[in-house]
Amino acid sequence: MKRVILVGATDGLGKALAEVYAERGFWVTILGRSREKLEALVADLRGRFPVATVNGVVCDVADAARLEPAFHEAIAVTGHCDLFLYNAGVMHGGDGVTSVPALDAETMEVNAVAAVRLLGLAANWFRVAGRGQIGGISSIAGDRGRSGNPAYNASKAALSTFLEGLRNRLAPFGVTVSTVKPGFVGTRMTAGKPGLFWVAPAAEAARIIADRLEKRHEVFYVYRRWALLGLAMRHAPRFLFKRLGPP
Ligand SMILES: NC(=O)c1ccc[n+]([C@@H]2O[C@H](COP(=O)([O-])OP(=O)(O)OC[C@H]3O[C@@H](n4cnc5c(N)ncnc54)[C@H](OP(=O)(O)O)[C@@H]3O)[C@@H](O)[C@H]2O)c1
């Protein structure tokens, strides 16, 4: 039985990923900050997918002191791990022109700093194991800084670059590191936001992500057309980005 640890997976894309892996008969261990949501999800998945083994570990990734114990607890629950996937993320809205330092700091903490702490622990663990896979749900938003949400952009840039470094570090040890840049996914994070396009339903996005991870793709988007847009965005001149608003 393959074993996956999903971080921050009690809602949205992470929850959809937990469902996909449970449906596929994995041993699924979910880290989530809300005990109530975690227990409800674990019970639901156990009920619907008896072929899977499902566990939950309470972990608010914004609580730095909790990360290492939660990591070891999750590993101890499964005894082994084939895929460690960091999905937790926040994106705070705003008026697009005012920085709110406390919210920006939380964005960096959840999307980047906690990711670095947990993925670093996973990297050391997989290096010793000599096999396995690490993944992170990053974003095309990390490719450039936009006026709408600079902290979110910066947090995903940090995550993508950290994952790239881990990929290069762990390649000689037989460990795959995958960076997922989903494109827009229909979740709480995008609900009601104007100007979105190519929005993938969460269940479909989760299926595609799980398939590509299975094939050990290293950097990928949910819909392949995002790769072209991503390329154009990465090379677009700076003056254009001064005129672009959200998303
Ligand atoms: N939706 C998109 O279009 C899109 C596009 C590109 C990348 N992404 C990325 O995809 C990932 C999932 O996003 P989503 O769209 O599914 O958003 P979502 O529905 O808001 O889900 C975010 C998940 O992260 C968890 N989380 C947030 N803060 C946490 C904390 N301090 N500790 C533990 N868990 C925490 C949430 O837990 P709770 O259930 O407790 O709230 C929830 O399970 C994020 O990393 C996001 O940046 C999303």
pLDDT digits (tens, 9 = 90+) for 207-236: 999 999 999 999 999 999 999 999 999 999
Mean pLDDT across the chain? 96
63 close to ligand 1 (CB < 6 Angstrom): no
Beta-carbon count within 10 A of 14 CB:
26
139 close to ligand 1 (CB < 6 Angstrom): yes
Average pLDDT of span 158-173: 98
Residue nearest to atom 17 of ligand 1 (CA): 189
Q: What pLDDT sits at residue 247? A: 67
Q: What pLDDT sits at residue 78? A: 86
Please state whether the predicted TM-score (pTM) of the whole model is above 0.95: yes
The string of pLDDT tens digits covering residues 56-80 is 999 999 999 999 999 999 999 988 8
CB-facing half-sphere around the CA of 97: CA atoms within 13 A: 1
The string of pLDDT tens digits covering residues 16-65 is 999 999 999 999 999 999 999 999 999 999 999 999 999 999 999 999 99
Ligand 1 centroid – CA 106 distance (Å)? 13
Beta-carbon count within 10 A of 233 CB:
17
Which ligand 1 atom minimizes the distance to the CA of 141? 6
Pocket test for ligand 1, best of 118, 137, 180 (most atoms within 8 A of CB): 137
Ligand 1 centroid – CA 238 distance (Å)? 29
In the chain, which ranges are E strands? 3-7, 27-32, 53-58, 83-86, 133-137, 176-180, 185-186, 200-201, 219-220
Q: What pLDDT sits at residue 75? A: 97
Structural domain containing residue 104: 3-243
The residues near 97 (Cβ < 8 Å, ≥ 6 apart) are: 147
Domain count, the chain: 1
Query: For the chain, what percent of residues have pLDDT higher than 70?
Result: 99
The string of pLDDT tens digits covering residues 137-152 is 999 999 999 999 999 9
34 close to ligand 1 (CB < 6 Angstrom): yes
Ligand 1 centroid – CA 98 distance (Å)? 23
Specify burial of residue 215 (Cβ count, 10 A radius: 0-12, 13-18, 19+). Answer: exposed
Which ligand 1 atom minimizes the distance to the CA of 196? 3
CATH label of the domain that carries residue 38: 3.40.50.720
12 close to ligand 1 (CB < 6 Angstrom): yes
Task: Give the C-alpha separation, 87 to 208, whole Å.
Answer: 15
Q: What pLDDT sits at residue 120? A: 98
